[in-house]
Amino acid sequence: MLRSPMGERLADRRGALLDAAVRVFARKGFRAARVGDIAAEAGVAHGLLYHYFRSKDEVLETIFRETWQLLAVETERIEAADVPLREQLRRFARVYLGSWLVTPERIGVLVREIARSPQVGQRVDEIDVVFQALARMIEAARKRGEVRADCDATFAGWAIYGALEEILTGWVLGQLPGEEEDVERAVSTVVDVACAGLAA
């Protein structure tokens, strides 16, 4: 179905508000930020934000959900690719860690704010989509003989994701260099270590 010009304008304005919120949360922190700060950053009237979002918390929730949905779609696409596990893991790591180069402010907000959010437990089902896909990739590779027979695909998927998340957190907190060459080196290292441990 084609989107109407009015629908496109509403989507553009909503997207602009989310982008403004990311900049404000990155600069001030979620707790210190006010709805008025987001509206001012977006150059709109204070009340307009409430036309799209009920609260500042819903804005943060939307930033998380939309970002995670993009990762879920990419992960399912990678799972569907007819390539060996090493290449699947490389593609996943490149998407996950490469997000730092594309949207560092957004990634910083997610790493700093989402893990500390009391609603994180309510997101388990959404988050689990990515972990299940990783586990299925590893299990399929085990059946193809690429992965050792005694491998627990679920724990292996969590271990790989955990390694990538810690690297991303290190970049956000300034503990690791995070330039483009560092991303490529991190992708190669995690994939090499994972595949060495999983190899049949």
Write the CATH number for 89.
1.10.357.10
Question: What are the helix (H) ranges across 43-103?
Answer: 49-52, 56-80, 85-102
Domain boundary among 37, 53, 69: 53
Q: What confidence tens digit (pLDDT) does each residue in 66-121 have?
A: 898 999 999 999 999 999 999 999 999 999 999 999 989 999 998 888 766 655 55
One domain, residues 60 and 133: yes
Mean pLDDT of 54-70: 90
List the domain range (segments joined by +) for residue 152: 56-198
Read off φ and ψ for residue 199, nearest 5 degrees.
-55, 140
One domain, residues 172 and 184: yes
pLDDT of residue 4: 46
pLDDT of residue 2: 42
Q: What percent of the chain has pLDDT over 90?
A: 62
pLDDT of residue 116: 62
One domain, residues 103 and 124: yes
Cα 26 to the center of its chain, rounded Å:
16
Report the domain count for the chain: 2
Angle at 126 between CA 121 and CA 127, to 5 degrees: 75
Q: What confidence tens digit (pLDDT) does each residue in 133-169 have?
A: 999 999 999 999 999 999 999 999 999 999 999 999 9
One domain, residues 69 and 167: yes
Amino acid letter for position 60? L
Angle at 173 between CA 167 and CA 179, to 5 degrees: 60
CATH code for the domain in which residue 25 is found:
1.10.10.60
Residue keyed to tokens 């998380």: 64
- Residue 33 in contact with residue 60, Cβ under 8 Å? no
One domain, residues 14 and 109: no
One domain, residues 48 and 81: no
One domain, residues 125 and 157: yes
One domain, residues 39 and 89: no
